[in-house]
Amino acid sequence: MRKDELLNAAESLLADQGAGCLTLAAVAERAGVSKGGLLYHFATKEALIKALIERLIADFDELVAAQDESSYTRSYLAATLAAVRSGRLRRWAVVTGAAGDPQLLAPLREAMCRWHRAGMEAEADPMAAQIVRLACEGLWDVATHDPEIYDESQYEELHQRLLALLPSP
Amino acid sequence: MRKDELLNAAESLLADQGAGCLTLAAVAERAGVSKGGLLYHFATKEALIKALIERLIADFDELVAAQDESSYTRSYLAATLAAVRSGRLRRWAVVTGAAGDPQLLAPLREAMCRWHRAGMEAEADPMAAQIVRLACEGLWDVATHDPEIYDESQYEELHQRLLALLPSP
DNA sequence: CGCGCTGTACCGTCCAGCCGGTATAGTAAC
DNA sequence: GTTACTATACCGGCTGGACGGTACAGCGCG
């Protein structure tokens, strides 16, 4: 889909130039399209950013759903580690920054709420699940700002230790 | 200090209007100062944002240092919970968003690195300390996006559970 | 031709930063 | 104590440029 390529362009631009440089002209150029072409697909800049955020959320939800684990928390943990390890994560922090209007972040707030409340009643030890999910969130944050902080073996150990916090199924 | 009032104005504007509305004129107006007056103290908008970020980091570092705990991790945990509970935290996510230029976030990256590496060798169980710190980071994030998610008793329980993860001193 | 899509030229707005000016206070010489 | 000078703090109009959005003119394809 053409739209996806445009979103990719916006995303990569955002990643290595920052929110300040996210102009319609720049996105169009990076996507190898004229500004008119870009605006044909996204009528306004807001629409572009909105799509960016929604795709981000949908991607992660999909990744969580794709995990074959026995609880939401375990899937969430596995998905987070997979995402972080793959290095495809410069995105989050920067995208949220691109939203000049805080209302654009509403879907993100909704998702955040979902990610940290979903399936809590099904957990044997809800507070332990809470902690694991919080650590996942923190991992996103830290790894985004400092990608070198953990190596493969540390990720592995982190995964094991976090799993160990959850009551065995 | 006059500069602090200007930073406060910028911060509150950022909190309830978003990064898009952070203009020199708007900051000046909210601070009850003319644009020229604002620019007298911060020669450029970049300088203003830089100061905003640096003050944020310094404030938190101070809060951590003020805790009377037996390890950095414990102080970090106590400081995080104090900050989150006090509700004075709409700031982080939004301020980082205001930085158009990613280079402005360099101090934040440096701080993040420090917060998650400092004193690790002094920890009896480094990975447990890591997990606690990550959960702190996640708590910031989640509570920023969804301030209602935890009530006082949950914060208290969270604190106890996280402390329990650390080897007793 | 009609339709999906692209490219170009242009407009209006908005904003950062500049600059000339004002007010107050301190200092120092006479 | 008055004059002259300097530093600090602040004001507000101006402008140049950038950017979002619009209008319109292709262009290939069925």
- pLDDT tens profile B102-156: 888 899 989 999 999 988 999 999 999 999 999 999 999 899 888 888 999 999 9
> Kind and range of the H or E element at B113?
helix B106-117
pLDDT score at A90: 58
Q: What is the mean pLDDT of chain A?
A: 90
Query: What single-letter DSSP state applies at residue A22?
Result: -
Give the residue from chain B lying closest to A135, CA to CA. Answer: B135
In tens, the pLDDT along A106-134 reads: 998 899 999 999 889 999 999 999 999 99
Please, which pLDDT band fits residue A17 given cuts at 50, 70 and 90? confident
Pick A113's closest partner by Cβ from B135, B137, B146.
B146
Of B93, B130, B131, the CB nearest to A96: B93
| Residue B10 confidence (pLDDT) above 90 | yes
Contact B31, B6 (CB under 8 A): yes
CA of A19 to C1' of C6 (A): 26
CB contact under 8 A, A113 and B149: yes
Is residue B75 over pLDDT 90? yes
Nearest CA in chain A to B105: A145
Q: What pLDDT is attached to residue B153?
A: 94
pLDDT bin (cut points 50, 70, 90) of residue A45 is very high
Interface test with A, best of B104, B145, B161, B166 (most A CBs within 10 A): B145
The 3-state DSSP class for residue B154 equals helix
Q: Which residues contact B82 (CB under 8 A, 6 or more apart)?
A: B63, B67
Centre a 10 Å sphere on the Cβ of residue A143 and count the other Cβ atoms it contains. Answer: 25
Which of A138-147, B17-26, B54-63 is modeled with the greatest confidence? B54-63
- Count Cβ atoms below 10 Å from residue A123 Cβ, excluding itself: 18
Shortest alpha-carbon distance between residue A100 and chain B (Å) = 4
Measured from the Cβ of residue B5, the count of other Cβ atoms closer than 10 Å reads 14
